[in-house]
């Protein structure tokens, strides 16, 4: 038996803010400390959350150990080293244009799915594959799919041409937006530490990086062009709502 005592999501956000303030104060007292600078950078990825958020994160990362068999297994399985058992298995050639993630997205699109969550697509030894998976979000967006790339404590998606994302007021932590294409114009952000109103983002300058949630309902929209949106993900909270600007 386990007795777990937790706190509210608002308290978790407050705790993160207090730690950030304490680190900032200590850094001012010890200027030039590389250790404190690193801790400030790492804070955005720290797991400071409620017990239900922690349990949901563990479930996402270890669902295979629970015996949750997939309905369809698709890929070349070269890294895995064997073909897994599943009701349906589709083996792709190793030499192909599509990554396994892209092949899975295309298959999901063919099957009529319009919302897709991608797990295990960030981190690991192959950073180039992480970048490829971010690119895959743009393909999904261009084909009318709401694809979300879920990592450890973070998530990414793509929006374009009149689309908007709205986030629960209980969200906390980092928030960033990046232009994915020649130019993204008419970018608006509300409910965040830094607001934008009709801004123009370009691919060669990270103007909208390192924003943060404020405890209000946050929203980002783009009139023209495409954005990749990054945010600190709390598994216990609902995913952002995709609407039209």
Average pLDDT over residues 11-26: 86
Integer Cα distance of 43 and 216 in angstroms: 21
Mean pLDDT value across the chain: 89
Residue with the bigger pLDDT between 36 and 8: it is 36
Is there a contact between 184 and 206 (Cβ–Cβ < 8 Å)?
Answer: no
Average pLDDT over residues 117-131: 88
Residue with the bigger pLDDT between 227 and 24: it is 227
Say what the pLDDT of residue 57 is: 72
User: How much is the pTM?
Assistant: 0.74
Integer Cα distance of 126 and 44 in angstroms: 22
Q: How many Cβ atoms are within 10 Å of 98's Cβ, its own excluded? A: 17
Q: What are phi and psi of 232, to 5 degrees?
A: -70, 120
Give the pLDDT confidence of 77-119 residue by residue, as tens digits: 887 788 877 788 889 888 889 999 999 999 999 999 999 999 8
Average pLDDT over residues 203-220: 95
162: left (phi over 0), alpha (psi -120 to 50) or beta: left
Residue with the bigger pLDDT between 8 and 95: it is 95
Average pLDDT over residues 68-82: 82
Find the range with the poorest average confidence among 5-14, 21-30, 60-69, 146-155: 60-69
Integer Cα distance of 174 and 194 in angstroms: 12
Residue with the bigger pLDDT between 17 and 232: it is 232
Confidence class of residue 206 from pLDDT cuts 50, 70 and 90? very high
Sequence-ordered list of residues with C-beta below 8 angstroms from that of 137, at least 6 positions apart, any chain: 147, 149, 156, 157, 158, 228
Percent of the chain with pLDDT over 70: 98
Average pLDDT over residues 13-18: 83
CA angle 62, 79, 138 (to 5 degrees): 75
pLDDT(205) > 90? yes
pLDDT(62) > 80? no
Confidence class of residue 60 from pLDDT cuts 50, 70 and 90? low
Integer Cα distance of 27 and 183 in angstroms: 37
**How many Cα atoms are found within 13 Å in the side-chain-facing hemisphere of 111?**
11
DSSP bridge pairs for 163: 244
Q: How many Cβ atoms are within 10 Å of 90's Cβ, its own excluded? A: 12
Integer Cα distance of 35 and 104 in angstroms: 41
Cα torsion angle, 94, 108, 179, 173, sign: negative
pLDDT(63) > 70? no
Give the pLDDT confidence of 131-179 residue by residue, as tens digits: 999 999 999 999 999 999 999 889 999 999 999 999 999 899 999 999 9
């Amino acid at each position: 038996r386990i007795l777990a005592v937790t706190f509210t999501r608002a308290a978790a956000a407050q705790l993160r803010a207090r730690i950030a303030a304490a680190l900032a104060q200590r850094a001012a007292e010890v200027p030039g400390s590389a250790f404190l600078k690193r801790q400030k950078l790492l804070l955005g990825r720290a797991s400071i959350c409620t017990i239900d958020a922690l349990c949901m994160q563990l479930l996402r990362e270890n669902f295979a150990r629970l015996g949750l068999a997939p309905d369809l297994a698709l890929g070349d399985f070269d890294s895995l080293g064997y073909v897994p058992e599943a009701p349906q298995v589709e083996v792709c050639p190793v030499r192909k244009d599509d990554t396994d993630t892209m092949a899975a997205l295309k298959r999901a699109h063919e099957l009529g799915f319009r919302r897709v969550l991608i797990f295990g697509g960030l981190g690991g030894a192959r950073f180039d594959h992480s970048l490829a998976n971010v690119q895959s979000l743009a393909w999904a967006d261009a084909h009318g799919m709401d694809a979300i790339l879920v990592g450890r404590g973070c998530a990414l998606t793509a929006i374009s041409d009149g689309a908007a994302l709205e986030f629960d007021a209980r969200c906390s932590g980092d928030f960033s937006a990046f232009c994915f294409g020649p130019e993204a114009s008419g970018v608006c952000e509300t409910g965040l530490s830094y607001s934008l109103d009709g801004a123009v983002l370009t691919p060669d300058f990270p103007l909208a990086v390192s924003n943060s949630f404020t405890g209000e309902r946050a929203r980002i929209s783009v009139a023209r062009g495409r954005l990749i949106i990054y945010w600190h993900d709390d598994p216990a909270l609902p995913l952002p709502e995709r609407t039209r600007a």
